[in-house]
Structure 1
Amino acid sequence: MEITVMQAILIGIACWLGSCENAQPLGIGFSDALSRPIVGGTIVGFILGDVATGITIGAAVQAMYLGQVLIGGVATADMAFVSYPSIALAMLAGADATVAVTLAATVGVLGAAVFTGYEILCSVFYSLGDKFIANNDIKKMKLTYMVLPPLTSFVIRFGITFSIVMLGSAYAADLLAAIPEIVLHIASVLGGILPAVGISILVTYTLKDFKFIIYFLIGIVCITFLELNMVATAVVGMCLAVMYYMFIGGQNESTTQQNDDDVEEDELL
């Protein structure tokens, strides 16, 4: 797959817009949505002219990061780099979704290191800003607080993404063809395992009672063995949830009625 300079520029801008530190009028929620691999894959696929492949790869990568959380402002991977340069590089190389997942994990970790470097630079800018405030120099203070951080973010994210996409497009397919089959097989196996890790992390965070794992298993049976699509599986899950709460509600009403009867008997005695 060939890529033009304009396509690489658009992917680089999208990566910058999806960065968590990017302050923009549409708010942090917009940046967070753009940083999701399923959204990034769709955008990259639209830019490269193959939306179906972009969505397929984005969905596979998204499964790996379903349980992604920020602890103390530190993440294991930079989602903007996961969603844009890695997916674009995988599409340019003609890699399948499983290999793309492994590639995204590698680029994401490198992106996290780049983001740490960005934070170090920002600490220098803010230190200079404090000195300008002490000197009552408002113009330079605004420059260090409001201009230099987003400009640095743009240079880093756009520059790295543009370089990876433009330079990688010339060698990605040849590099993928030169990799031994055993290495690609290992990458495919790892790519198949990593989404399961993401789903397991999500289940661990969301399940309040371990017995509710049965609903997750029912979903697997519906999709794997009954070959239902996602909509049909969601409808089955919704029906089971309603039936569960109807059953729990009936039990609660019975318990409440029993307690009321006991209170009345005590009063009569």
Structure 2
Amino acid sequence: MLTTALMAYLTAFFCYFVQWTFGQPMIDQPLGVGLVAGIVFGDVTMGIIIGAALQAIFIGSVNVGGATSADTVAGTVLAVCFVVVSGMEQGVAIPLAVAAAIFANIIYSLVLNVLMSFWAPVVDWAANSGESKKVIVCHFGGAIVMNALFAIPVFLAVWVGAEPASQLMDMVPQAVINGFNAASGLLPAVGMALLLRMLWDNKIAIYFLLGFVLFEYINMPMIAIAAVGAVILVVTCLRDLENLDLRNQIKKLRETGVSAGAQSAAELEEEDFFA
């Protein structure tokens, strides 16, 4: 189990390190972490499936500054590890991963907001030295230290908890497992509800209705619905750009005060109205 714990640790460290060191390419999201964990543990398909399920749950979860909601890296790595290595059912692993992500966020916040503040004098020393090499060493050294600390809960959870968790699941009745499976199916709806709560606007509500109709009654696949959404987005952006250009022309004509321009402005306003 120590080898598995080290693999989980390195997976989490890699995702943390790439996310925080190379411009935040969003590899810390469950889809990205699931892919990496699937490659490491030898089941890419399962890694992506679990990552997609957790992505739907945490899609409305946003970390802003020091305010963090859940450590999605830890939760996703643990879920993939327990399913692929320990043979845990996916419906059971996902709710456990959500709980683990929320708990691991305590350690995440402690490292990010408290422990790494002690690195600030080192950064100041490197900057005051005026030597770029010291700044580079300080930057990457701090990244290694911070992300190594981030990944410790994942290592401990697998090393200490994987085998007891597997034995415990063998003792759980099938009815309870079915309940976990049902709960895991409802959690993505909770994630989407959190996202809609932030994005909901009466002006765009019609697009949500369109997506529901396409999926529920026309049975279009999600990729096709996403393509339709992309087309609507491009058309809307082009229309808005045209309207913005018309408004700029009207503004210029009004500023010049030319009588001939007044007529052109009226025509432009009419075009803008019917656009």
**TM-score with structure 2 setting the length:** 0.69
Match of 2:266 among 234, 239, 260: 260
Deviation at 1:40, TM superposition (A): 1.1
Match of 1:53 among 41, 46, 50: 46
Cross-structure match for 2:34: 41
Q: Residue 82 of structure 1 contacts residue 108 of structure 1 at CA under 8 Å; is this kept in 2?
A: yes
**What are the Cα deviations for residues 83-141 of structure 1, in whole angstroms up to 9, with x where unaligned?**
322332243343444433311211111111111321322234446x59979xx9x9xx9
1:234 aligns with 2:226: yes
Cross-structure match for 2:9: 12
CA shift in 2, pair 1:84/1:77, >3 Å: same
Match of 1:70 among 50, 55, 63: 63
Hey, what's the Cα distance between the residues in 2 that align with 1:151 and 1:262?
59
1:122 aligns with 2:116: yes
1:29 aligns with 2:35: no
Deviation at 1:242, TM superposition (A): 6.6
Deviation at 1:38, TM superposition (A): 0.8
Deviation at 1:176, TM superposition (A): 1.7
Hey, what's the Cα distance between the residues in 1 that align with 2:238 and 2:156?
57
1:191 aligns with 2:184: yes
Cross-structure match for 2:272: none
**What are the Cα deviations for residues 25-80 of structure 1, in whole angstroms up to 9, with x where unaligned?**
xx1324xx221111111121122221111111110000111112123421111122
Cross-structure match for 1:177: 170
Cross-structure match for 2:257: none
Deviation at 1:249, TM superposition (A): 10
Hey, what's the Cα distance between the residues in 2 that align with 1:152 and 1:247?
49
Hey, what's the Cα distance between the residues in 2 that align with 1:98 and 1:222?
28
Q: Residue 31 of structure 2 contacts residue 51 of structure 2 at CA under 8 Å; is this kept in 1?
A: yes
**What are the Cα deviations for residues 208-247 of structure 1, in whole angstroms up to 9, with x where unaligned?**
x324223223323333443322232223334555777899
Give the paired residue count: 248
CA shift in 2, pair 1:248/1:156, >3 Å: closer
Hey, what's the Cα distance between the residues in 1 that align with 2:211 and 2:19?
37
Cross-structure match for 1:220: 212
Hey, what's the Cα distance between the residues in 2 that align with 1:151 and 1:72?
20
Hey, what's the Cα distance between the residues in 1 that align with 2:20 and 2:243?
50
Q: Residue 16 of structure 1 contacts residue 158 of structure 1 at CA under 8 Å; is this kept in 2?
A: yes
Hey, what's the Cα distance between the residues in 1 that align with 2:123 and 2:154?
32
Deviation at 1:11, TM superposition (A): 3.0
Q: Which amino acid aligns with 1:216?
A: F
Hey, what's the Cα distance between the residues in 2 that align with 1:93 and 1:258?
73
Q: Give me the identity figure in percent.
A: 23
CA shift in 2, pair 1:8/1:221, >3 Å: farther
User: Secondary structure at 1:94's aligned position in 2?
Assistant: coil
Structure 1 unaligned residues grouped into runs of 5+: 264-269
Q: Residue 86 of structure 2 contacts residue 162 of structure 2 at CA under 8 Å; is this kept in 1?
A: yes
**What are the Cα deviations for residues 157-204 of structure 1, in whole angstroms up to 9, with x where unaligned?**
343323333444434432222224454344333322221122122233
Hey, what's the Cα distance between the residues in 2 that align with 1:117 and 1:241?
40
User: Secondary structure at 1:84's aligned position in 2?
Assistant: helix
CA shift in 2, pair 1:96/1:218, >3 Å: farther
Give the aligned CA root-mean-square deviation in angstroms. Answer: 4.3
Hey, what's the Cα distance between the residues in 2 that align with 1:210 and 1:165?
46
**TM-score with structure 1 setting the length:** 0.71
Q: Residue 222 of structure 1 contacts residue 233 of structure 1 at CA under 8 Å; is this kept in 2?
A: yes
Hey, what's the Cα distance between the residues in 2 that align with 1:174 and 1:103?
15
Hey, what's the Cα distance between the residues in 1 that align with 2:268 and 2:116?
67
